Amino acid sequence: MGALLKDKRMAMREVVEMTRRRCLMAAVAGVAGLLLAAGGGMCEAGTKPNIILVFIDDMGWGDLSCFGNTEAMTSHIDQLASEGIAFEQFYVNSPICSPSRVAISTGTYPQRWKLTSYLAHRKVDEQRGMAHWLDPEAPMLAGTLRRAGYATGHFGKWHMGGQRDVTGAPEIAAYGFDESLTNFEGLGPKLLPLTKRPDGKVGRIWADAERLGGPVTWMQRSEITTGFVDAAIRFMEQARRQGKPFYVNLWPDDVHSPFWPPVDKWGDGSQRRLYLAVLEAMDAQLGKLFGYVRDADQLRANTLILLCSDNGPERGAGRAGPFKGYKTHLYEGGIRSPLIAWGPGLLEKPAAGTRNKESVFAAIDLVPSLVGLAGAEPPADADYDGENLLDTLLGKSKASRRKPIFFSRPPDRKNYYGFKDLPDLAVRHGKWKLLCDYDGSRPELYDIPADPGERDNLAGDRADVTDSLTKKVRDWYHTSSTIR
């Protein structure tokens, strides 16, 4: 393990050093606007790229109109896809909120940090054998980029500590952020939702979150993403005045229930109709953020926007396209997410407007990839589970992750959304996906490219693959909570 960790650190440092040398050469040459790629890193005349991560709560793989939704239009997100790359085989590392956020923030499996389901009240967390918050010593992408000179801001849902009766969690700033504005599941300044029904009845939800710190601003839930977008734009403008690159999390929770669209969009008031209305309203509000970047030449040339979902959809609300399962499930519908990468000055020009149907990778791979993009130095003790796939993100390659992608279900979700006795573990490696219980029993094996709906269990026909993947996922699970 020690030798492997040393090799990984040396490889990352070589990438970083090469990036710095190339960026310095570009600056000395004085070639404005010249983009130089170096081992997965990139710069613009010595300027580090800006990064925006839009991480949407509970949105299904098939909910964006550019991913097949015919009942709602997400035109602003669709435009990103038409100018960027849409990835169809991207996974998040948990089918539920908090651990998925940990993975995309640290490049590590959330099981390492004893975060295996959504964070709740202290008693509930303890019953599930969970920590109450993410350890601030985790290798946060924000902290790494901040040390590399980035302005770092988090705007939107947090849910990695500081919720319900957990008031003693670290502030968001402890995780490497210069500024934050969150919702009811985080400490510090926050936006909380007002509600309004078509009959004029108004109300508030999650008001008890005021005890988690402030200042608190109340906004209509149907407009609350605009509040986060406006704060993020002010933050980006300040970073630009200071001559700093920025890393911004924009994590909206509009499409997480309860759904409160604009009153004139309620339709028949069904769960599905409300969800679709909220989805379209969120897209419209995100359009302001995308327009801000697109309309500024310097930002357009030197900003990477990534957009994906934290897990699959709630049953009866979102849709997972052709995939089986929902949020909380280890079937594809719970863990497969749309991913869009946009950056006209950073992506390979022939890749603009394309769909990548081949590359298999996961949220944990984004952190080392973005560290490479920024030419940053990872923490000395960072032992990422993710791999640097920046060439894939930027359209230079269609390489997949080399190692398997492992999953475990939330401990309190054995039976959920009409599914009984759900599998406990899953692994995707190459074309194969295996699901099984903790003891390796009841294996299910699927050839995912040929059978994306996971209908034809091949475990009995391919005992060699079944046995190999069962051993790998069980070994991973039994060691994952002991590795830091």
Which pLDDT belongs to residue 42?
43
Amino acid in position 417: Y
Is it the case that residue 260 has pLDDT exceeding 50?
yes
Q: With cut-offs at 50, 70 and 90, classify the pLDDT of residue 46.
A: low
- Which of 52, 67, 69 shows the shortest CA–CA distance to 337? 67
C-alpha count within 13 angstroms, C-beta hemisphere, residue 480: 22
35 touches 343 (CB < 8 A): no
For 330-349, what is the mean pLDDT? 98
| Alpha carbon distance 339, 325 (integer Å) | 19
Beta strand spans in 12-141 (E): 35-38, 41-44, 50-56, 85-91
- Report the relative pairing of strands 50-56 and 303-309 from DSSP bridges: parallel
**Averaged pLDDT of the chain:** 92
Dihedral angle of Cα 92, 93, 99, 105, to the nearest 10 degrees: -70
Give every CB contact of residue 215 below 8 A, 6+ residues apart in sequence.
Answer: 189
- Which of 316, 337, 309 shows the shortest CA–CA distance to 274? 316
Amino acid in position 475: D
Tell me the pLDDT tens digit for each residue of 343-355.
999 999 999 999 9
If you classify domain 423-480 with CATH, what class do you get?
alpha beta
Q: Is 289 exposed, middle or buried (0-12, 13-18, 19+ CB in 10 A)?
A: buried
| Alpha carbon distance 407, 171 (integer Å) | 28
Which pLDDT belongs to residue 13?
52
Is it the case that residue 49 has pLDDT exceeding 70?
yes
CATH 3.30.1120.10 domain range(s) in the chain: 423-480
345 touches 301 (CB < 8 A): yes
Q: What CATH superfamily is the domain 50-403?
A: Alkaline Phosphatase, subunit A (3.40.720.10)
Q: With cut-offs at 50, 70 and 90, classify the pLDDT of residue 47.
A: confident
438 touches 414 (CB < 8 A): no
Q: Provide DSSP, 119-142.
A: ---HHHHHHTT--SS--TTS--HH
Q: With cut-offs at 50, 70 and 90, classify the pLDDT of residue 4.
A: very low
Degrees, nearest 5: CA angle 18-19-21: 65
277 touches 266 (CB < 8 A): yes
- Report the relative pairing of strands 190-196 and 425-429 from DSSP bridges: unpaired
> pTM (2 decimals)?
0.91
C-alpha count within 13 angstroms, C-beta hemisphere, residue 407: 31
| Alpha carbon distance 279, 155 (integer Å) | 18
Distances (CA, A) of 412 to 123, 163, 328, 338: 13, 18, 9, 26
Which pLDDT belongs to residue 482?
63
Tell me the pLDDT tens digit for each residue of 81-101.
999 999 999 999 999 999 999
CATH 3.40.720.10 domain range(s) in the chain: 50-403
The token duo for 94 is: 């948990």
